[in-house]
Amino acid sequence: MLYTDTETLPEALPAEGHKALARGIWRYTTVPGLPELALFDRLKERGLKVDLWPGLDAYDLLVEVALKRRKKVSFKVDVKDYTSVTTLAKLIHAQEGDKGGAEWLVVPDYRARQVPLLSGVCERYGMRAVTASEFGELVCKEAGVSWT
């Protein structure tokens, strides 16, 4: 599983010569960004071409896979880590999908129970919902490399 440590969240500590982020930025930007970075790192380690936050963060990841005898396949990914699946589903409805153009909604593995509900919502807008590990396995299979 990818990024399963939900018990140990980073603690904001003062350090000489540095300032801590305001709680809101730390809680709603930094901590949710950890699963995005974990997926980015894992895919890069497998030799895949991955851009982080393309188009000024239109979505979170652009993964490009060059297939033998076929053209390149692109995966536009938005990683979401919401405690409330209902709140996330309402956001997807309000935006009629992903306002940045993502085709994949990826949730951390520890949110796997959210995928069935999100799949139904995402399908209405031409998106697919999966866990980070499911996405990694799928993309690595397309690229002909091992996810594990």
Longest Cα–Cα distance of the chain, Å, equals 55
Which of residues 16 and 137 earns the better pLDDT score? Answer: 137
Strand partners, 63: 50, 75
Strand partners, 64: 49, 74
As given in the structure block, the two tokens for residue 57 are 């963060």
Q: Look up the pTM and report it.
A: 0.82
Share the mean pLDDT of the chain: 88
**H or E, element range at 73:** strand 72-79
- pLDDT tens across 99-138, in order? 889 999 999 999 999 999 999 999 999 999 999 999 999 9
Which position has the token pair 């940045």?
100
- pLDDT tens across 55-73, in order? 888 899 999 998 777 788 9
As given in the structure block, the two tokens for residue 68 are 């033998």
**H or E, element range at 121:** helix 115-123
Q: What is the DSSP letter of 20?
A: P
The answer to whether residue 10 scores a pLDDT higher than 70 is: no
